[in-house]
């Protein structure tokens, strides 16, 4: 396997940006309708938006990088999981399906590239946030960016303010007792909730300082946001031992983790 360079990353981000926006448009077209909701085998909700957006992304990745395997949420749910090794894509076509169903806008489209267990490139698109959506991108060796109605600009994690941490937690999957225990002894200025992988991106953009996730997640839920966060100077660590979170694990389940800035 050849080394994935910053030059490669810049070219790939350029090609993936219109693809993720196209998937976001498919989602928004369905968002505007009276869509149906069904249940997968694990009883989690799924909509046409999840399935159609994933189809757009898979077709695009096949054209852009045909030799790189793709692990995508709805494909895995259907029993189609490719063999992966040192390099593969992780795709969540609609992270925050519950937020999509409740129509609060806090859902995202996610594409990440994993290399040797690490997220080296990621795009997170929140098409319903703000006037033109919010697109977060980042890659190892390049940095991280946010593009929205105000234009495109570089982002980075911030140092924790003197008044304490801004903590962001899951809107739909929170465990307040576990969160209280995790934060015990830390100086916390404020706590807020948000949906989907937006939480990782808020830390990357310096809009929050800490996102603890003390419940079940899958690799495709967070890989793209993790890539953006790492490119912005942050880390995602395993709560149990403080090591950096790795990808390509058997079953693609994540342990409890904490995403943090500087």
54 neighbors 73 (Cβ within 8 angstroms): yes
**How confident is the model over 3-12, as a mean pLDDT?**
86
pLDDT, position 36: 87
Query: Which among 147, 141, 197 is positioned nearest to 172, based on CA atoms?
Result: 197
- Tell me the per-residue pLDDT of 193-229, one tens digit each, with 9 for 90 and over: 888 899 999 999 999 999 999 988 999 999 999 999 9
- 6-155 CATH fold: Fructose-1,6-Bisphosphatase; Chain A, domain 1 (3.30.540)
| Inter-residue contact 239 to 221 (CB < 8 Å) | no
CB 146 within 8 A of CB 167: no
Q: Closest Cα partner for 223 from 239, 201, 205, 202?
A: 201
Work out the number of other CB atoms within 10 angstroms of the CB of residue 28.
14
What's the mean per-residue pLDDT of the chain?
93
Bigger pLDDT: 207 vs 175: 207
Q: What is the pLDDT of residue 7?
A: 86
pLDDT category at 173 given cuts 50, 70, 90 is low
Q: How many CA atoms, within 13 angstroms, populate the side-chain half-sphere of residue 122?
A: 37
* Three-state secondary-structure class, residue 205: coil
CATH topology of domain 165-260: D-Maltodextrin-Binding Protein; domain 2 (3.40.190)
Q: Residue ranges of the domains in the chain?
A: 6-155, 165-260
Tell me, what's the pLDDT at 223?
Answer: 98
Q: Assess contact for 114 and 222: CB atoms under 8 A.
A: no
Assess whether pLDDT exceeds 90 at residue 176: no
The pLDDT of residue 234 is: 98
Place of tokens 């793709």: 70
State the Cα–Cα distance between residues 177 and 171, nearest whole angstrom.
Answer: 15
Query: Strand pairing of 210-213 and 253-254?
Result: unpaired
Instruction: State what percent of residues in the chain have pLDDT above 90.
Output: 79
C-alpha 98/C-alpha 110 separation (Å) is 16
Of the candidates 202, 196, 191, 200, the one whose C-alpha atom is nearest the C-alpha of residue 172 is 196
């Amino acid at each position: 396997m050849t080394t994935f360079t910053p030059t490669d990353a810049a070219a790939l981000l350029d090609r993936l940006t219109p693809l993720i926006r196209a998937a976001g448009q498919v989602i928004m077209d369905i968002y505007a309708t009276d869509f149906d909701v069904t249940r997968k085998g694990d009883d989690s909700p799924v909509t046409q938006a999840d399935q159609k957006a994933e189809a757009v992304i898979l077709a695009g990745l096949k054209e852009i990088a045909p030799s790189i395997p793709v692990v995508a949420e709805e494909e895995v749910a259907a029993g189609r999981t490719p063999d992966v090794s040192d390099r593969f894509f992780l795709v969540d076509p609609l992270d925050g399906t519950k937020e999509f169903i409740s129509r609060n806008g806090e859902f995202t489209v996610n594409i990440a590239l994993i290399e040797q267990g690490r997220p080296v490139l990621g795009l997170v698109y929140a098409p319903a946030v703000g006037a033109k959506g919010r697109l977060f991108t980042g890659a190892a060796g390049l940095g991280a960016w946010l593009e929205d109605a105000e234009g495109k600009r570089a982002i980075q994690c911030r140092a924790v303010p003197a008044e304490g941490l801004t903590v962001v937690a899951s809107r739909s999957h929170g465990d307040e007792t576990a969160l209280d225990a995790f934060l015990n002894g830390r100086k916390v200025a404020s706590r807020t909730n948000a949906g989907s992988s937006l939480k990782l991106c808020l830390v990357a953009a310096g809009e929050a300082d800490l996102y603890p996730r003390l419940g079940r997640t899958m690799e495709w839920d967070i890989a793209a946001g993790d890539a953006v966060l790492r490119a912005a100077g942050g880390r995602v660590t395993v709560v149990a031992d403080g090591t950096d979170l790795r990808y390509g694990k058997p079953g693609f389940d994540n342990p409890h983790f904490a995403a943090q800035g500087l």
